[in-house]
Structure 1
Amino acid sequence: MMPDMVWLLLMCLGLGAVVGLMAGLLGIGGGLLIVPALVWMLPQTGIEPGLVMHIALATSLACIVLTSGSSARSHLRLGNVDVSLVRLLAPGMVLGGIAGSAVAEWVPADWLPRIFAGIVLLLALQMLLSLKVTGRHPIPGRAAIAASGSVIGLVASLAGIGGGSLTVPYLSWYGVEMRRSIGTAAFCGSIIAIAGMAGFIVAGSGDDSLPPYSLGYVYLPALMGVVCTSVLTTRYGARLVSHLPTQTLKKIFAIFLLFVGGKMLF
């Protein structure tokens, strides 16, 4: 078991370096890379197939809590977070994030990769086609925003992502400035990740079939490996933005996601 854990830790260190670089360069959520990578790596360490997707989703959300927290804090300091919108969206997102972990526990294990794949394919198409949603529609009432936050939180938790790919278009549709949409989405993403991670921790508590060093469904060796390097390479990705064709790279990454989503779906 120990050699397998060392191998996984080393692989996750490399994964974290890539995740941080891509996050800084393209502004993508790490979950789109972390989940499929862990789905491939975890079975090779002897973890039961029926647990793999739950562990991948939970660990991805835990990584997002630690890595996106600094981003959310930076946006808050820069005044890019609309606190009033966060207060309206947060309750629904918390409920949706917890509900996502409950749904993941309830649905058959072999359906989880398909659900994740479907969400990834839609996000990849949006990224590939550079679909931008803008509008000047009036912001709906408190109940409608809470319901929207619940849906975003549910989908994000089921995919192991922070939900920025969903929150930014939603806020842009109601005319929120892009800078504030991104900052508010980053802050809300950390809330979703915390709620989803907590739900997965509770759902996995007491499961004797989980591997050692697990906190519920969160696998701590993988978490530490990814976070140790991702927090370091994010800054380098951000520096490369002005030197590399990010739009071209984003389309290449979207094609890669289409391949990953299609493989997991079929």
Structure 2
Amino acid sequence: MEKENINQRNFQQQLKSYKQDPVSLVLFLLVYGAAVLTFVAIIFIVGYILIKGIPNLSSKLFEFKYTSENVSLLPALVNTVFITVLSLVLAVPIGIGASIYLTEYAKRENPFVSVIRIATETLSGIPSIIYGLFGALFFVKYAHFGLSLLSGSVTLSIMILPLIMRTTEEALLSVPDSYREGSFALGAGKLRTIFHIVLPSAMPGIFSGVILAIGRIVGESAALIFTAGTVAEVAKSVFRSSRTLAVHMYAISGEGLYINQTYATAVVLLVLVIIINLLSETIARKLGSETGNE
């Protein structure tokens, strides 16, 4: 209660100070208006999906076999887990390793570092369908992976690599230099300092980047249509075609016969994303508290 009163007093003091400057008041109102609009939009979207989808949830949607009479989402859910794990296995070591090199080993005035950062920013702004076309030409056709789980995973790993690199680099740069200097003063080498001092301190930020990458993988459809295909069954190997939940939802909605099942699939996808975000927040807080106690 006292905390709420303090926040309310601070808000009133800020508003009073903003009233003295018209420009600041306008910017203040725009920021709060944008925040309220965002909140209302999120509530409307989530509420609409839940209202439309929850009544259409049934046990048939979670059967292991997909048929024309029962458009089960369970095979797509299993494929989503497979493709997420494989994409992270490919992207996370490369992204974290590249970020360690850029922050801990490369000289800051090195032009090669600037080129890598520009390339990373460029890759992060490319639409996902472009990644899909590249994956279809390179991995599916020229690498002879075909429409498969492997083609989709490699394409997604390239897509999330800039995100992992940026968040990991920011997390490493946020670690104070005094930590490194203290470790060196105690006789630890460069590699030991990185793995025992720097990385544990930056782990909450690195983990947040990985979770954001998972969210992008789970919600991706455009790139996977061209690389992983749309076969509605659990992939028996990495060289078999499959579909994820997002692709499954796109496919059955395009047919026009399973609109109710599409809303039910959207509910499952929404719940999956919420669970991932809640788990990430919990683990990040736990890692942060453990690092602070150390």
Tell me the TM-score normalised to structure 1 length: 0.28
Tell me the TM-score normalised to structure 2 length: 0.27
Higher relative contact order (CA 8 A, sep 6+): 1
Structure (1 or 2) with the larger CA radius of gyration: 2
